[in-house]
Structure 1
Amino acid sequence: MINSSQLPLDAPGVLRLAARTMFELLESSAQGMMVLDREHRIVWISEGYKRFLPGLGFEHESDFVGRRVEEVVPNTLMAQVIDSGQPILVDLLSNKAGTFLVSRLPLRSDAGEVIGALGVVLLDHPETTMQPLIAKFGRLQQELDEAHRRLAAEQVRNRRPKHTIASFIGAGPAALELKRQARRVAQTDAPVLLLGETGTGKELLAHGIHAASRRAGGPLVSINIAAVPDTLLEAEFFGVAPGAYTGADRKGRDGKFALADGGTLFLDEIGDMPLALQSKLLRVLQEQEFEALGSNTVRRVDVRVIAATSRDLAAMVAAGEFRADLFYRLNVLPLKLPPLRERLEDIEALAETLGEDIARRSGMPQRQLSPEALDWLARQPWPGNIRQLRNVLEQASLMSDEIQLGVHSFDPAALACLPAPAEAPPAAAQAPHHIRPLPERIEALEREAIAEALALTEGNRMAAARLLQISRASLYERLTRWPDLGAA
């Protein structure tokens, strides 16, 4: 006991005495106590707390004290109290040692800095004396877990494929061959590159390939690279760690690769990706791992990539606008989608399917097309492909009161809004046959660049690979094709 005659008269002394008295009172009345330092290490436990050690898997106090609390007390929030500086006054803690009513308080220095935490076991096995509260807590926890399950299931449903390969309308030779190839590539996990003009159905086919693959039960995540500002693309791809920058979400945010884990990531308009991000995308494709923006933690993922573009990637590689190594990584299974003008035999089937959808969305009767209208549609150039065909049909259907649409029902301006596809130059103006094919030009450009890099680095292959911004393995693979460069 403290002698009252020894009480200090100064206010700080009274406060220190009060703190000491409260600590002694808590130690004697609580079921157990522990004190942690700022590094989450346990520095002291009370006599009462020692009886919980066997339940936590420890025989001796020396095996417990000195270790980080996260390592020895399952489900504890003591570390959170130290990191946040916020107390948790009343909480239920359940682990293999039992269920406890606990309180957690941060400990601060005179300057207000958090230097540790105090944990107090207020009640051991509270289920015997606080049954109504425990039962309510259990019900709330079950409801929360069920809400999390429903939310996760809803997110997966929202990322299900909306189309199958059969949704790609067409029975002509070009459409049938494309669907055959799509079913074949769906059986693999290799990257797919969809090439075709705008409006040819690249996104629909990507959905179909995912739906026919072994990943159909996983998410299908899409991102249109052309629609995202360059400054936001890295965060969109890889996510943001908590507090990565001013204004960032305190909880962090998952990127598209994390959301697509176990499924497929569809990269639309891949040709619009900035060069600075292409090397990072290449690494993820090769290693199947990435780091969120502002994080030092590597996360592994299992993602199959389907990319699409309406641009000529091979020509962009030759012009230095697209990385050659990324092009080769994406171009494993290329599929060329034919423009509508090359499969005019499918216009009738497309018009019928599009007409059904237009009627369903508008709530109006489905319009039919006269033979003359079908013949007229088949003679158009369709620079906007199927997207333009839908626009023309929708405009005519909504602006006409007739059940059957004739040639007069269509506005020629709707077909003139886009430039006609470029026609092949006359034979006299065509390029001479002695021009080298583009693949040969690309190979010659690569050879020249590697030779220059090796010369600049005096034959140091690792330095040359860094200079070229390719992996050492990629450099070695090319040197096996050109052994004279490696010997130079």
Structure 2
Amino acid sequence: MNASSFSLESIAESILDTVPMGVIFCDRECIIRFVNQTYASYLGVSKDEALGRTMTELIPDSRAGVVMENGVAEMGEQCCVGQGKAKRTLIVNRIPVCDAAGQVVGMLSQSIFGNPEELKSLSDKIDRLGQKVSLYKTRMNTALSARYTVESILGQSAALRGAKQHLLRYARTEAPVLLLGATGTGKELFANALHQASQRAHGPFVGINCAAIPNDLFESELFGYLPGSFTGATREGRIGKIELAHKGTLFLDEIGDLPLTAQVKLLRVLEDKLVHRLGSHAPTSVDFRLVAATNRDLQAMMQDGLFREELYYRMAGLAIRIPPLRERTEDIPMLVAHQLTCTNTQVSGCSDAAMDALMRYGWPGNVRELAGVIGRAASLCQGKIIELGDLPPEVAAGATRCQPAPAMNHKALLANVQSNNEQRLILAALRENEWNMARTARALGISRATLYEKTRKHGITRA
């Protein structure tokens, strides 16, 4: 018999016999008028044997009469069917069936689980999926979170204080911000701090290095794409960085390397607050704050036709120039002390000669280069003080690309920084060890007498 010879009734019956859930229908007199193969097997009878019998014959505790009398469905209830060893417990929905006039004419019982264990298995699976979703959400939130605050920007020089003051003022606005600074000055640090100080601090912080992405892939990374929108596109498609930054901050590092075509599209997004994924004609509304950074001369690039004037002037209204290290040499002792604190070493400071060389060197790689030099010197150091010979030759020689550092009491500055770091370290250790002096002394690798002496010296008392 071909498919065209089936009646709608027989097709419906075939479908209901195929589904892996039991279905049974009784009329107002509780007489079974339909049962599918699955439910009949639960009852331990054939379909023909079930038809025409009452529900209570096959299911002594049937609530069909109650449901039809009340007209209220019972969802997810337990129901015992079968006899002897064949007896089993189902999880069922009991649903009153009404005619066009709203009168109850029967009841439909649907088994959604063949036994409570199936329900428990599904519940466990849902719990596991919920845990995975929670884990992925936590990981995603962590990945899209800013790591640094204004307090993370170390230094008390006038040049740096001015930059931080601009940062805090600009953080109160929603306009794009342009960070200008040489390599290694801390542009990413400033971008993180700007986000944390803004009204968007609880939103995502999404960073992308424009210089690290090939031009032919940049638009797909920034704007996202639909499945199959270009050769090599994933089957699932991808959400772009702009959409990820919704309600937060988008940080475009090295924006001078942004392709011209992407510059035009980014400008349109900034103006319309709408983003089009590649391959899509339906825009998505976005709300983000743009922070861009570069070590290149964007004005010169504009003259050469390599950077869009409209985009530059859209960002340049709020610009922060981050001073190079050679313009804030008075911050070097503090930066050195911080780097030594972060380094897993017993080295506690620098000799006067070594510090003098550090202060006179030109630092073309800025703070990033200083961190590398101190890390290397601490590894080579034979004692607890970095000596001149532990520094790289170009630093030890006092090579400079700038004017000599202004005269100051380097030793006093470093001593003050080291004292502050020691105070914070001891206080943290005391709190971690619940102010137990013996345990704290062991954790710090000093005697209790020394610990008592240092707490008196720094005025540390338990609040």
| Contact kept? 1:367, 1:397, Cα under 8 Å | no
SS for the counterpart of 2:353 is: helix
Cα distance in 1, alignment partners of residues 190 and 154 from structure 2: 10
- Compute the TM-score of the two structures, normalised by the length of structure 1: 0.60
Equivalent residues in 2 for 1:20-419 (5 A)?
20-21=5-6, 24-28=9-13, 125-127=110-112, 131-357=116-342, 359=343, 363-413=344-394
Q: C-alpha displacement at 1:129, in angstroms?
A: 6.2
| Contact kept? 1:257, 1:265, Cα under 8 Å | yes
Question: Per-residue displacement from partner, 1:127-179 (whole Å, max 9, x unpaired)?
Answer: 48655434432442343234223311220122211111111110111111111
SS for the counterpart of 2:135 is: helix
Cα distance in 2, alignment partners of residues 223 and 415 from structure 1: 36
Listed as ranges, the gaps of 5+ residues in structure 2 are 19-24, 26-72, 77-90, 93-107, 405-463
Question: Per-residue displacement from partner, 1:221-267 (whole Å, max 9, x unpaired)?
Answer: 11110111111100110112112123321111111111111111110
Cα distance in 1, alignment partners of residues 390 and 134 from structure 2: 52
> What residue identity is the alignment partner of 2:382?
D
Listed as ranges, the gaps of 5+ residues in structure 1 are 1-13, 34-47, 49-95, 102-122, 424-488
Aligned residues: 322
Q: C-alpha displacement at 1:414, in angstroms?
A: 6.0
Cα distance in 1, alignment partners of residues 272 and 74 from structure 2: 41
| Contact kept? 1:196, 1:310, Cα under 8 Å | yes
| Contact kept? 2:389, 2:396, Cα under 8 Å | no
Equivalent residues in 2 for 1:432-451 (5 A)?
none
Cα distance in 2, alignment partners of residues 286 and 399 from structure 1: 54
| Contact kept? 1:268, 1:309, Cα under 8 Å | yes
Equivalent residues in 2 for 1:455-474 (5 A)?
none
Cα distance in 1, alignment partners of residues 15 and 306 from structure 2: 69
Q: CA RMSD in A?
A: 3.1
Q: C-alpha displacement at 1:126, in angstroms?
A: 2.7
Question: Per-residue displacement from partner, 1:105-130 (whole Å, max 9, x unpaired)?
Answer: xxxxxxxxxxxxxxxxxx86434865
> Cα distance 1:378–1:97, how it changes in 2: closer, same or farther (>3 A)?
farther
Q: C-alpha displacement at 1:199, in angstroms?
A: 0.8
Q: C-alpha displacement at 1:296, in angstroms?
A: 1.7
Q: C-alpha displacement at 1:308, in angstroms?
A: 0.2
| Contact kept? 1:239, 1:255, Cα under 8 Å | yes
> Cα distance 1:155–1:284, how it changes in 2: closer, same or farther (>3 A)?
same
| Contact kept? 1:210, 1:220, Cα under 8 Å | yes
Cα distance in 2, alignment partners of residues 419 and 24 from structure 1: 93
> What residue identity is the alignment partner of 2:354?
A
Cα distance in 1, alignment partners of residues 240 and 302 from structure 2: 27
SS for the counterpart of 2:239 is: coil
| Contact kept? 1:381, 1:421, Cα under 8 Å | yes
Q: C-alpha displacement at 1:371, in angstroms?
A: 2.1
Cα distance in 2, alignment partners of residues 251 and 420 from structure 1: 52
| Contact kept? 1:193, 1:331, Cα under 8 Å | yes
Cα distance in 1, alignment partners of residues 283 and 350 from structure 2: 57
Q: C-alpha displacement at 1:329, in angstroms?
A: 0.9
| Contact kept? 1:383, 1:419, Cα under 8 Å | no
Cα distance in 2, alignment partners of residues 162 and 129 from structure 1: 51
Question: Per-residue displacement from partner, 1:345-392 (whole Å, max 9, x unpaired)?
Answer: 1111111112222x2xxx332341112221221111111111111122
> What residue identity is the alignment partner of 2:196?
A
> Cα distance 1:30–1:383, how it changes in 2: closer, same or farther (>3 A)?
closer
> Cα distance 1:403–1:31, how it changes in 2: closer, same or farther (>3 A)?
same
Cα distance in 2, alignment partners of residues 156 and 326 from structure 1: 30
Cα distance in 2, alignment partners of residues 419 and 324 from structure 1: 36
Question: Per-residue displacement from partner, 1:436-465 (whole Å, max 9, x unpaired)?
Answer: xxxxxxxxxxxxxxxxxxxxxxxxxxxxxx
> Cα distance 1:233–1:124, how it changes in 2: closer, same or farther (>3 A)?
farther
> Cα distance 1:236–1:206, how it changes in 2: closer, same or farther (>3 A)?
same
| Contact kept? 2:253, 2:294, Cα under 8 Å | yes
> Cα distance 1:205–1:415, how it changes in 2: closer, same or farther (>3 A)?
farther
| Contact kept? 2:347, 2:381, Cα under 8 Å | no
Q: C-alpha displacement at 1:30, in angstroms?
A: 5.6
SS for the counterpart of 2:222 is: helix
SS for the counterpart of 1:194 is: strand
Cα distance in 2, alignment partners of residues 368 and 286 from structure 1: 52
